Chain A
Amino acid sequence: MSTQAPAALEPHLATTVAALARTLYPHDALGDQVYARVPAKIAEAVREDPAQARMVSEGVADLDGRGEKPFAERSADERLADAKAIAGSDFFELVRSTAVVEVYSDTATWRALGYEGPSFAKGGYLRRGFDDLDWLTDLPQEA
């Protein structure tokens, strides 16, 4: 049996899901490639689940129907209002629960938020600042 790469979501669905992900976890410093992880992950989940796939299509159509422009082309404020309107729906929860893992697992996000992550291969933080905080005094070391 050959292993296929998971089919991607149809481009408009992917763009809209990514825009919803950015609406839910908005960080100006993050590029679109971080949010693109969300439709990619959802594509894996819905690939062999027609009911889920339909839920995503319908969820996107619902979002698009909430304004004149497609959801992904609306202002941040408009997208936020639309997201609030669908909060709690199965589609919303699928995107939210996927996004909170995918967005914050990306090393680009880590860099943007100042998280350096693993250090074992670099000898830990022992000589790389584990105690370099200098805006408070050092405490006496009790026995």
Chain B
Amino acid sequence: MPRFDFDQDGVVVVVGSGAGGGTLATDLCRAGVRTVVLEAGGHHQPGEFIDDEWPSFNQLAWLDERTTSGSWRVAQDFPGLPAWTCKTVGGTTVHWAGCCPRFKDWELRIRSVHGPIDGASLLDWPITLADLEPYYDKAEDRMGVTRTNGVPPLPANNNFKVMGNGATRAGYQDVSTGRMAINSVARDGRPATIQDGFNFQGDRQRAHWSTLTAELPKAEATGNLDLRPQSHAFRIAHNGGGKVTGVHYFDADGNERVQKARAVCVACNAIETARLLLLSESPQHPDGLANSSGEVGRNYMRHLTGSVYAEFEQPVRMYRGETMAGIVTDEARNDPDRGFVGGYYMQLLALGVPFLAAFLDPGAWGPEFAAKMDAYERTAGMWLVGEDMPQASNRVTLNRDVTDQYGLPVPNVHFDDHENDVAMREHAYAAGESVYEAVDAVNTHRVTPYPSTHNLGTCRMSADPAEGVVDVFGRAHDVPNLFVSDGSVFTTGAAANPTLTIVALATRQAEHIVDEMKAGAL
């Protein structure tokens, strides 16, 4: 791999190597653009992954100090862990489960569809589904998404047989093993799944799409990639002319480095992306870089989430097979008569014994709790993922009272549910219970949201620079050579798991950056 000079200001610096950054960097490299990727985590290979939940968590999770506030239960149960994302090459694509629903047309313009909603900072996306569709097509192809491009579906596992039969008996129509970025057949140099589970622990066999295994190796093969693991960016340098000039970071030995850049693309996942821009404050940008709107860090979304687990008389063994290969889409529709706007999916979910114990009812103990764990082998599970309302007060800020291992202010994540979120979650819990009751569940358990895996909206895309941080291509309204390339740009969250859309947007952004470079505009 080449090592570009720190002073080589013709390179593009991408901060983060996950779904957004890893995809963007790969496309830039393939187009001939010299690209430096700064990744805070180490370069773990699939052979190093650990199929044991807590040791894997300690290997892959982003565990730098953070603080929380607000009325969400996560702030009480896991006050230092608002989000469960990864710190490793490949970012959170290393532990994602592979669900790939697309946004629906109306989900990109929910402000227009519903009008203003009290307490919500709703805004239409400045792009439409028609703008996205060609990039969804490309993303599904590169990721090998099942049920697209002739890729066969994944087979039904035990946990899906329970949810699928229940959903069908409960009257749901669109019930399947879903569109998954997991190889059902060998494809793109990666094998078909052997149904070995542990989707959240990295994928030892490489059947899942990740930027670690499916993108960055292709970028490296171009000779244009300079991937720097254990490189923690903490400040984006900028000049008096209003442009960014490079990125300050701490290398593996803790030395401060500065990589000069022609353009900088930030893709650190929504909490760290906002934090990096806020840390880059200066006299020209007193409230943080690219923050003349005041919107950096605001409108933080994390999806509805919640889970339902159910006990049965007979064994389920939910842990066998792909963790989330199952979906019911009927409730992902726009039907305010249900008492809320937006929709949600029911998706398959299995946890191993260690994590079910931790998350089933955080803090719970005693004979009743133990009895639930005794039913582990007879337990089925699903996740509820739906649109949550953006709120200006749900926000990532710098907590200047607490510093990290580098002496930098840690991010504080403040979150309160909107009443729409609460109404949707109640509906979703009841729907999940009805699914399991339709196949004679002995018991059902409503499970509170876990630390956030879908972190969105902290640098939202807007047509009007006063209302958001980036334009239709993810370019900062305030800074012409600064881009945001992850889920931070989501104007609203939709119900869909975000990775497919992040990849589609990164693909589109890469094309735009290359075009702008060719035109001499960047």
**A→B interface (CB under 8 Å):** 24-27, 80, 83, 96, 99-101, 103-105, 109-110, 113-120, 123-126, 128-133, 135-139, 141-143
Q: A115-B377, A126-B195 are in contact. Are A133 and B317 (CB under 8 A)?
A: yes
CA distance A99 to B373 in the complex (A): 14
- Closest beta carbon of chain A to B182's beta carbon, Å: 12
Q: Which residues of B sit under 8 angstroms from A143, Cβ to Cβ?
A: 147, 153
Does B374 contact A131, Cβ atoms closer than 8 Å? Answer: no
- Closest beta carbon of chain B to A136's beta carbon, Å: 5
- Closest beta carbon of chain B to A68's beta carbon, Å: 23
Does B358 contact A118, Cβ atoms closer than 8 Å? Answer: no
Does A136 contact B373, Cβ atoms closer than 8 Å? Answer: no
Does A124 contact B158, Cβ atoms closer than 8 Å? Answer: no
Q: A113-B353, A131-B156 are in contact. Are A124 and B205 (CB under 8 A)?
A: yes
CA distance A100 to B353 in the complex (A): 10
B376 lies within 8 A of chain A by Cβ: yes
Does B157 contact A131, Cβ atoms closer than 8 Å? Answer: yes
- Closest beta carbon of chain B to A31's beta carbon, Å: 15
Does B195 contact A124, Cβ atoms closer than 8 Å? Answer: yes
Contacts A119-B320, A124-B205 given; 15 further ones with Cβ under 8 A? A25-B369, A27-B374, A83-B365, A96-B363, A104-B357, A104-B358, A113-B353, A118-B198, A119-B51, A119-B194, A125-B157, A130-B321, A131-B156, A138-B161, A141-B176
Q: Which residues of B sit under 8 angstroms from A114, Cβ to Cβ?
A: 315, 317, 376-377
Does A125 contact B161, Cβ atoms closer than 8 Å? Answer: no
Chain B stretch 96-141: residues in CB contact (< 8 A) with chain A: none
- B340-377 contact mask (Cβ, 8 Å, vs A): 1 or 0: 00000000000011101110000101110110011011
CA distance A136 to B162 in the complex (A): 7
Does A100 contact B365, Cβ atoms closer than 8 Å? Answer: yes
Q: Which residues of A sit under 8 angstroms from B317, Cβ to Cβ?
A: 114, 116, 129, 132-133
Does B161 contact A113, Cβ atoms closer than 8 Å? Answer: no
* B interface residue count range (under 10 / 10 to 19 / 20 to 34 / 35 or more): 35 or more
CA distance A1 to B53 in the complex (A): 32
CA distance A141 to B146 in the complex (A): 13
CA distance A27 to B357 in the complex (A): 13
- B189-217 contact mask (Cβ, 8 Å, vs A): 1 or 0: 00001111110000011000000000000
Q: What are 12 A-B contacts with C-beta separation under 8 Å? A: A100-B358, A101-B54, A101-B358, A104-B353, A105-B53, A114-B315, A117-B51, A117-B319, A118-B52, A119-B196, A125-B197, A141-B176
CA distance A136 to B319 in the complex (A): 18
CA distance A80 to B32 in the complex (A): 67
Of all A-B residue pairs in the complex, the 4 with the closest CB atoms, nearest first, are A124-B194, A114-B377, A118-B51, A124-B196
CA distance A123 to B481 in the complex (A): 48
CA distance A114 to B366 in the complex (A): 20
Residue among B158, B161, B352, B365 with most chain A CB within 10 A: B365
Q: Which residues of B sit under 8 angstroms from A100, Cβ to Cβ?
A: 357-358, 365
Name the residue of chain B whose CB is nearest to the CB of A88: B363
B219 lies within 8 A of chain A by Cβ: no
Name the residue of chain A whose CB is nearest to the CB of B321: A130
| Residue among B195, B363, B376 making CB contact with A130, cutoff 8 Å | B195
CA distance A132 to B159 in the complex (A): 10
| Residue among A24, A96, A129, A141 making CB contact with B156, cutoff 8 Å | A141
Name the residue of chain A whose CB is nearest to the CB of B203: A120
Does B196 contact A104, Cβ atoms closer than 8 Å? Answer: no
B71 lies within 8 A of chain A by Cβ: no
CA distance A41 to B225 in the complex (A): 44
B175 lies within 8 A of chain A by Cβ: yes
Q: A119-B197, A130-B320, A133-B315 are in contact. Are A142 and B153 (CB under 8 A)?
A: yes
Q: Which residues of A sit under 8 angstroms from B14, Cβ to Cβ?
A: none
CA distance A100 to B364 in the complex (A): 9
B284 lies within 8 A of chain A by Cβ: no
Name the residue of chain A whose CB is nearest to the CB of B375: A113
CA distance A80 to B368 in the complex (A): 12
B316 lies within 8 A of chain A by Cβ: yes
Q: Which residues of B sit under 8 angstroms from A142, Cβ to Cβ?
A: 153, 175-176
B282 lies within 8 A of chain A by Cβ: no
Q: Which residues of B sit under 8 angstroms from A99, Cβ to Cβ?
A: 365
Does B153 contact A130, Cβ atoms closer than 8 Å? Answer: no
- Closest beta carbon of chain A to B328's beta carbon, Å: 12
- Closest beta carbon of chain A to B210's beta carbon, Å: 16
Does B315 contact A27, Cβ atoms closer than 8 Å? Answer: no
Does A133 contact B158, Cβ atoms closer than 8 Å? Answer: yes
Residue among A103, A105, A116, A125 with most chain B CB within 10 A: A125
Q: Which residues of B sit under 8 angstroms from A118, Cβ to Cβ?
A: 51-52, 196, 198
B164 lies within 8 A of chain A by Cβ: yes
Q: Which residues of B sit under 8 angstroms from A96, Cβ to Cβ?
A: 363, 365
Does B158 contact A132, Cβ atoms closer than 8 Å? Answer: yes
Q: Which residues of A sit under 8 angstroms from B353, Cβ to Cβ?
A: 104, 109-110, 113, 115
CA distance A26 to B177 in the complex (A): 36
Residue among B157, B353, B363 with most chain A CB within 10 A: B353
| Residue among A80, A110, A115, A131 making CB contact with B155, cutoff 8 Å | A131
